Amino acid sequence: MKRALIIITSIMCGLAICALSPAANADERRAGSEPVLVGPGGGEFTVTTHPSLITSLFLGEPVKQVLASDQKNFTVRKLGNAVAVRPRVVNRALRANLIITTATMRLTILLRVTDDAKQADAQVVFRKASVERDLQKRIDAEVKRRMAGERARLKNDVERAIARRVYTRYGQRVLHAIERNNANVIVMVPRVVWVGNDAYVFFRIHNRSGRAYQLARVRIVADKRNRAGTVVIDGGVAKGPVLSRVNSGDKVSGLVVVRGAAKLKRKRLSLSVAEAGGKRSVAVEEIDLP
pLDDT exceeds 70 at position 33: no
pLDDT score for 236: 65
pLDDT score for 36: 85
Q: Where in the sequence of the chain do the CATH 2.60.40.1150 domains occur?
A: 170-288
- Percent of the chain exceeding pLDDT 90 equals 49
Cα–Cα distances in Å, from 279 out to 181, 211, 216, 217?
11, 13, 9, 10
Class for domain 170-288, per CATH? mainly beta
pLDDT score for 211: 92
Asked whether the beta carbons of 173 and 192 are under 8 A apart, the reply is yes
Q: Report how far residue 218's alpha carbon sits from residue 117's, in angstroms, rounded to the nearest whole number.
A: 65
In sequence order, the 6+-apart residues with CB closer than 8 A to the CB of 149 are: none
pLDDT score for 240: 76
Tens of pLDDT along 61-90?
999 999 999 999 999 999 999 999 999 999
pLDDT score for 251: 93
Q: Report how far residue 169's alpha carbon sits from residue 179's, in angstroms, rounded to the nearest whole number.
A: 29
Q: Report how far residue 280's alpha carbon sits from residue 266's, in angstroms, rounded to the nearest whole number.
A: 29
What is the CATH T-level fold of the domain 20-131, as seen in this structure? Immunoglobulin-like (2.60.40)
What is the Cα gyration radius of the chain? Answer: 34
- pTM, two decimal places: 0.49
In sequence order, the 6+-apart residues with CB closer than 8 A to the CB of 60 are: 20, 21, 81, 125, 126, 127, 128, 131
Q: Of 97, 27, 15, 105, give the one whose Cα is nearest residue 60.
A: 105
Half-sphere exposure at residue 129, Cβ-oriented, CA atoms within 13 angstroms: 7
Is the pLDDT higher at 169 or at 21? 169
Tens of pLDDT along 122-141?
999 988 876 556 666 777 77
Q: Of 223, 224, 193, 218, give the one whose Cα is nearest residue 204.
A: 218
Least confident of 25-34, 162-171, 222-231, 236-245: 25-34
pLDDT score for 189: 93
